[in-house]
Every structure is written in structure tokens, then in C-alpha cells.
């Protein structure tokens, strides 16, 4: 008797007396159970018809061909596209897994429901090594794939060059933000909940942020960057980006930090390098004039 996939699911239905028996392979299987190659071939053919076009369609996809799943596709920084692609891949893998699971459930419900003339229990299967290896290995492979792409991208996102073009100190405090450009105290801008500050960034130049907190844990988040990092008291966190797409974006705190957390907003303007220099010089001139 040939061993079938899915623990005898491809065998003929039930034994004549409705009682399960233990076969020589250790599988409970009715004496009349046998594999029907033509039916199995048909099912494999149907499965390939469903899976192969999906794989072919996905293999030629780029980030732009797929939905964003609520992530920004503005390409505001050199990193935002990488995060978007990882996010899209994770969703598509989740949808594919869901489709297989729901497909198997629906297939079972439709094709293996109890027939009118069925009596007793259907064949009871256990100790089916191939199916047990399958449902152990498939999740392990899935987790491995998720882990590989996440670890690869996280490593690249957190790479820091020793000599960034600009260093911006970000200080979070209940409930606003303070920005200082290139270590020059005269360029410090402090916001309030009623008057959110603007962070200026030069396009095409590397910027390193150092994140400081004066009180509790906050999180520095510019949604268009597809990236955020915690701002922790007593610890300075760093990350680098290269702004790319000129424009104005919103920023906010992404860690519930107290009563006015929702008002902890700021703006981000990515400018041409010359315009950026002019803005920073203007901030400095205004601070010196106010002395």
C-alpha cells in the first residue's frame, strides 16, 4: 500500500464497518484504503495552476507594483524604500500563508464533509512521519526567511559612517522637541506644543541624529522616513539617513509619554543643500539678534 500525503487524506473514503484499524506503517488506515494516482495528479496539477502564476507574477515585482499597506512611498530618505519593500514582502508572505491555510480549511470542509451514508468515525490517522516533517519544516523555513530579510535590512539601516556630513542633536522633552545643528548652540531651536518646531535637512547629504531625552522615554518618528527610534533618558541613540525627496513632512512622538503626548509634533523640511545652509544661518542670526 502506498503512503499518501496528508496522512491518508488522498485515500478512498472510510472502512466498510466504520472502524479504524492500525496499518503496518503505524498509520490508522482502513483496510480498503488506497492511493488514487489519477486523483492525486489532478490535485497537484490544480495546485500548480494556482501557485505557479502567483510566483511568476511576484518574481518580477518591484516595490511600485505592490500596495503600500499604509507605509510611505515618497522615498523621503535613502532608507525609506528598503523598509517599504520589507514591509510589503512581509504582508505578501502573510497573505500567501493565509491563502494556503484558508484554502486547506475550505477544501477540507467542502470535499471531506460527512456524507449522508457515512457511518461511525472517518479513518483516524497518527504517526504520519511525512506530514509531521512537513508541518515542522515549513514554519521553520518561513521563520528563517523572515529572519534573514529582517536581519539583513536592520543591519543596513543601522549602519553609521564615521564622518557624516551633518550631525543634528535631537532632544525630546515633555512635550516638544529641540534641535541643534552641528554642535553649534546658537542654532538651537526649541518648540512647544502650541508652536511645533521645524527640522531642516539637506537633500543628498548624510545626516546623523543623536537622540537625547530630558525626562521619560519618547520616540523620534517621521512617518515619511518609514523609520523611528526610541529616545531614552540616560542613553544616547544614533541613526543616519540621507534625505532624498525635497518636501515638507510631519514628525511626531511615537511613545506614549504623558498628558500632551499627542501634541508632541514637529515639521521636517528637506531642502536643497544651499537652502538648508541659508536656513541654519538664519536661525543663528535670529538667535544672536535676540541676545
**Interface positions, 5-44, toward Cu ion (CB under 5 A):** none
Among positions 166, 218, 252, 279, the unique one binding Cu ion when judged by CB under 5 A: 218
Instruction: Tally Cβ neighbours within 10 Å of residue 20.
Output: 19
- Taking the C-alpha atoms of residue 172 and residue 231, their distance in angstroms, rounded to an integer, is 7
Q: How far apart are CA 50 and CA 32, in angstroms?
A: 32
Q: b/e string for 233-250 if b means 16 or more Cβ within 10 A?
A: eeeebebbbbbbeeeebe
Q: Per rule CB under 5 A, is residue 231 in the interface with Cu ion?
A: no
**Cβ nearer to Cu ion, comparing 24 with 194:** 194
In the complex with Cu ion, which residue's Cβ is closer, 28 or 255? 255
Q: How far is CA 238 from CA 6, 58, 229, in A?
A: 51, 35, 8
Q: Which stretch binds Cu ion (CB under 5 A): 37-45, 59-67, 214-222, 233-241?
A: 214-222
Residue 201 CB, nearest approach to Cu ion (Å): 21
**For Cu ion, which residue of 20, 170, 264, 271 counts as binding (CB under 5 A)?**
264
Closer to Cu ion by CB, 29 or 218: give it. 218
Return the residue of 20, 157, 207, 253 that touches Cu ion, per CB under 5 A.
Answer: 253
Beta carbon nearer to Cu ion, 212 or 218 = 218
- Whichever of 173 and 187 has its CB closer to Cu ion, that residue is 173
Helix axis angle for 80-111 and 129-157, nearest 10°, is 160
Minimum CB–partner distance for residue 257 and Cu ion (Å): 3
Stretch that binds Cu ion, among 46-54, 118-126, 151-159, 212-220 (CB under 5 A): 212-220
CB atoms within 10 A of CB 28: 21
Q: Minimum distance between the CB of residue 260 and Cu ion, rounded to whole angstroms? A: 9
Contacts of 170 (CB under 8 A, 6+ apart): 177, 178, 179, 199, 209, 210, 211, 212, 220, 231
Q: Which is nearer to Cu ion, 218 or 279 (CB)?
A: 218
DSSP string, 56-91: HHHHT--GGGS--TT---S--BTTHHHHHHHHHHHH
Cα(167)–Cα(201) distance, rounded to whole angstroms?
A: 10
Considering only the stretches 22-30, 113-121, 128-136, 249-257, report the one whose residues sit in contact with Cu ion under the rule CB under 5 A. 249-257
**Interacting residue with Cu ion among 83, 257, 270, 283 (CB under 5 A):** 257
Residues of this chain that bind Cu ion (CB under 5 A): 218, 253, 257, 264
Amino acid at each position: 500500500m502506498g503512503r499518501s500525503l496528508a496522512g491518508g487524506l488522498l485515500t478512498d473514503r472510510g472502512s466498510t464497518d466504520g472502524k479504524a484499524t492500525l496499518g503496518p506503517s503505524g498509520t490508522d488506515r482502513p483496510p480498503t484504503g488506497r492511493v488514487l494516482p489519477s486523483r492525486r495528479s489532478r490535485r497537484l496539477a490544480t495546485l500548480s495552476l494556482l501557485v505557479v502564476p502567483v510566483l511568476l507574477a511576484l518574481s518580477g515585482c518591484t516595490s511600485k507594483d505592490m500596495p503600500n499597506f499604509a507605509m510611505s512611498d515618497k522615498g523621503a530618505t535613502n532608507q525609506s524604500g528598503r523598509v517599504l519593500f520589507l514591509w510589503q514582502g512581509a504582508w505578501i508572505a502573510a497573505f500567501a500563508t493565509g491563502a494556503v491555510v484558508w484554502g486547506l480549511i475550505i477544501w477540507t470542509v467542502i470535499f471531506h464533509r460527512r456524507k449522508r451514508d457515512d457511518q461511525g468515525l472517518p479513518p483516524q490517522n497518527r504517526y504520519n512521519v511525512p506530514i509531521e516533517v512537513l508541518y515542522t519544516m515549513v514554519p521553520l523555513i518561513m521563520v528563517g526567511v523572515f529572519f534573514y530579510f529582517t536581519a539583513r535590512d536592520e543591519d543596513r539601516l543601522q549602519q553609521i559612517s564615521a564622518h557624516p556630513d551633518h550631525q543634528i542633536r535631537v532632544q525630546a522633552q515633555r512635550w516638544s522637541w529641540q534641535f541643534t545643528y552641528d554642535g553649534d548652540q546658537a542654532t538651537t531651536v526649541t518648540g512647544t506644543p502650541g508652536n511645533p518646531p521645524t527640522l531642516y535637512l539637506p537633500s543628498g547629504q548624510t545626516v546623523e541624529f543623536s537622540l537625547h531625552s530630558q525626562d521619560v522615554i519618547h520616540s523620534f518618528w517621521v512617518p515619511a522616513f518609514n523609520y523611528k527610534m526610541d529616545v531614552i533618558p540616560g542613553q544616547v541613540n544614533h541613526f543616519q539617513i540621507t534625505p532624498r525627496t525635497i518636501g515638507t513632512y510631519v514628525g511626531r512622538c511615537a511613545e506614549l509619554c504623558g498628558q500632551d503626548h499627542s501634541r508632541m509634533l514637529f515639521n521636517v523640511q528637506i531642502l536643497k543643500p544651499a537652502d538648508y545652509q541659508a536656513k541654519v544661518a538664519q536661525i543663528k542670526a535670529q538667535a544672536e539678534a535676540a541676545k
